[in-house]
Structure 1
Amino acid sequence: MKDPAELYELADEVGLIPQGLPLVAALTGFTDAGGAVSQLGEYVLDTLNSRVVAEFDADALLDYRARRPIIYFDQDHLTDYQPQTLRLYLVNDELGQPFLLLHGFEPDFKWEQFTAAVLQLIDLFQVKTTTWVHAIPMPVPHTRPIGVTVSGNRIELTDAMSVWRPHTQVPSNALHLVEYRLAELGHPVTGFVLLIPHYLADTEYPSAAVASLESISAATGLIFPTDRLREEGREFLTKIGQQVESNPELEKLVGTLEERHDSYMQNSGLQNAGLRSPLTDEDGELPSADEIAAELENFLAIKRRGDDASPGFAGL
């Protein structure tokens, strides 16, 4: 393997970075249901003081044809090229507590070298704990708190917060590999998988960002300003509720999700780690597309902010 340090460039005066800080990682890539990760990174960097500690080499790690950068065409010339970035930041939370934030695109290439580079930075700054988040779509109702599945070696967090502990194979992302290598070394590491209502997976769902920040707070003790996100979330859910109430069939389908979710949560404390999914019926089967997906997607599919709203959600 090539030298991991070839993949990143340290900022000047890194010797002044405090040692023993928590590291938070949030990379956008394979899945980001509800825009949980992208919103988290943007919100933290917009609302808190930060500076770049290290920048990774996009030319070495990014597949530009798969995730093309944005450039603006201004009548007859090009302006405002916006390259994809992957950076390590030093950030101060709402109380002034410092932490490191790894945010940007998930690498398409050189996962082993990238993982080694992250471990190298963790060693360089004597990182205390590593916490990362991502989000997946699940047939769960928007009317219930967002649940999480927790991985890693911090048993107190797994026991207290993980609502679903499946035995399954999953497509991995780069931070799965980072967690796996850190666990091998005995470094305290936690991964939070947010379970986002599948019919809201393609939206920018403010409650998903709030759930991400709450999970990070539980693992690190960091405090984040979330008032704006919470207010946006309340407005978002109010408009969804209005749409559900106006369509009896849709209301019935959401009610079915609520019943299955509540039954699962009620019984989960009586079962072991082999709990079945909160989205299955009594026979352990997934709801069919005809029952759930078609109706919900027709009425609740909202394009990401900046696009035209779907006909079923005019005004969102």
Structure 2
Amino acid sequence: MTDSIFSAEYAERRAGVPRGVPLVVAMQGLSDAGGAVSQLEEYLWERCRPEEVLRFNADLLLDYRARRPVITFDEDHLVDYSPEELTLCVARDELGTPFLLLSGYEPDFRWDQFIDTVLLLVHEFEVSVTVWTHAIPMPVPHTRPISMTVSGSRDDLIEARSVWRPTTKLSASAGHVLEYRLHSLGEEVVGLALLVPHYLANTEYPEALYTSLDGIMAATGLILPTDDVREQSRQFHAQVDTQIADNQESLEMVQTLERRYDAYMEDQSVRSPLIGEDGAIPTADQLASELERFLAERQSGSGDEEAGSPGS
């Protein structure tokens, strides 16, 4: 047993790590509405040929009882033990441009030690910009482009892309704290918080992946192909539109969300796209009720061929 926060092999691999490249962070943790982060992580591992530089020590960072790893029982024996992983890799975009990828679980323990380690890596590899993404469920319609809140040091991206700019207290994730520390040190950092329709929060929503990739490309200059993702998003939207059109209550809900969203976009003096026509903000119970009803109708109405079914 070692107390090192990462694997010993790092010492041998560090010399081959490129300097001055972006760092993309895709850690699954507090909020992943629409499967934005999980889809992003899968996409980057499938498309960008990551090569491991270091592996963080899960025995120090992970609460196994809260997030139990998966193992398969095959008739009379156990196979395919799949522990959680958190790694730093060198990956490459469509044109072969290298970037660093920090992906896997969000640490449960030793946040300060973990974040200090990442800060040292950012300094050692002269990272040009760190960008991370997460997604939160909001009462916004799927018939409009996904909006986002942009934070960090890139004023150009905040001005161009940040639609909702609240002042609020929230439960912090390791990504939030990493961004805070990087910004405090004068490092380039961009946080992308996607505002995903609340009634699609428990699905794998392709539009969330597309919006994440688009934001990452804008922040880093990387080239990440999105044609397949856009086609998946088009098909997903067509199915959702069909299912909503068959239910008058769901259709009225989406139309109400559209009116609020459009009013907000037309008049930035409106406090929030979440505020209803009567000035009230929907409660958590109201949003949960709408979500449960919509998903139940969707599951019963479309069968096994339904795209984007709720994750397990």
| TM-score, normalization by structure 2 | 0.92
- The answer on 1:60 being equivalent to 2:60 is yes
Aligned partner of 2:141 in structure 1 is 141
Aligned mates of 2:131, 2:13 — CA distance in 1: 25
Aligned partner of 1:226 in structure 2 is 226
Aligned mates of 1:93, 1:15 — CA distance in 2: 21
Aligned partner of 2:132 in structure 1 is 132
**Residue in structure 2 matching 1:287, options 270, 273, 282:** 282
Structure 2, unaligned runs of 5 or more: 307-312
Kept after mapping to 2: 8 A contact 1:136/1:193:
yes
- Percent identity of the aligned residues? 53
What SS does the corresponding residue of 1:7 show, helix, strand or coil? coil
Aligned mates of 2:208, 2:5 — CA distance in 1: 31
Kept after mapping to 1: 8 A contact 2:200/2:291:
no
What SS does the corresponding residue of 1:234 show, helix, strand or coil? helix
Mark the CA change 1:167 to 1:16 in structure 2 (over 3 Å): closer, same or farther: same
What SS does the corresponding residue of 1:78 show, helix, strand or coil? strand
Aligned partner of 2:310 in structure 1 is none
Aligned mates of 1:29, 1:79 — CA distance in 2: 26
Mark the CA change 1:39 to 1:119 in structure 2 (over 3 Å): closer, same or farther: same
* Number of residue equivalences: 301
Aligned partner of 2:272 in structure 1 is 277
Aligned mates of 2:176, 2:208 — CA distance in 1: 20
Aligned mates of 1:283, 1:247 — CA distance in 2: 24
Mark the CA change 1:252 to 1:55 in structure 2 (over 3 Å): closer, same or farther: same
Mark the CA change 1:182 to 1:301 in structure 2 (over 3 Å): closer, same or farther: farther
Give CA-to-partner distance per residue, 1:125-155, whole Å, 9 cap, x none: 1111111111110010011000110111211
Aligned mates of 1:197, 1:17 — CA distance in 2: 39
Letter in 2 for 1:65: R
TM-superposed deviation, 1:284? 3.7
Kept after mapping to 1: 8 A contact 2:50/2:101:
no
Aligned partner of 2:182 in structure 1 is 182
Letter in 1 for 2:250: L
Kept after mapping to 1: 8 A contact 2:199/2:290:
no
Larger displacement relative to structure 2 (165-174 or 276-285): 276-285
What SS does the corresponding residue of 1:263 show, helix, strand or coil? helix
TM-superposed deviation, 1:47? 1.4
Aligned mates of 1:288, 1:197 — CA distance in 2: 15
TM-superposed deviation, 1:296? 4.3
TM-superposed deviation, 1:228? 1.8
Aligned mates of 1:109, 1:290 — CA distance in 2: 31
Aligned partner of 2:122 in structure 1 is 122
Give CA-to-partner distance per residue, 1:242-275, whole Å, 9 cap, x none: 111101111011000000000001112xx4xxx6
Aligned mates of 1:200, 1:140 — CA distance in 2: 10
Aligned mates of 2:286, 2:252 — CA distance in 1: 10
TM-superposed deviation, 1:122? 0.6
Aligned partner of 2:5 in structure 1 is 7
Aligned mates of 1:76, 1:17 — CA distance in 2: 44
Aligned partner of 1:260 in structure 2 is 260
- Give RMSD over aligned pairs: 1.8
**Residue in structure 2 matching 1:311, options 288, 300, 310:** 300
TM-superposed deviation, 1:287? 2.9
Aligned partner of 1:34 in structure 2 is 34
Structure 1, unaligned runs of 5 or more: 303-308
Letter in 2 for 1:82: S
What SS does the corresponding residue of 2:4 show, helix, strand or coil? helix
What SS does the corresponding residue of 2:88 show, helix, strand or coil? strand
Letter in 1 for 2:5: L
What SS does the corresponding residue of 1:210 show, helix, strand or coil? helix
TM-superposed deviation, 1:298? 1.4
Kept after mapping to 2: 8 A contact 1:36/1:205:
yes
Letter in 1 for 2:203: T
TM-superposed deviation, 1:297? 2.6
| Pairs within 5 Å for 1:102-251 | 102-251=102-251
| TM-score, normalization by structure 1 | 0.91
Aligned mates of 1:232, 1:116 — CA distance in 2: 39
Mark the CA change 1:295 to 1:198 in structure 2 (over 3 Å): closer, same or farther: closer
Larger displacement relative to structure 2 (236-245 or 290-299): 290-299
Letter in 2 for 1:198: H
Letter in 2 for 1:38: S
TM-superposed deviation, 1:120? 0.9
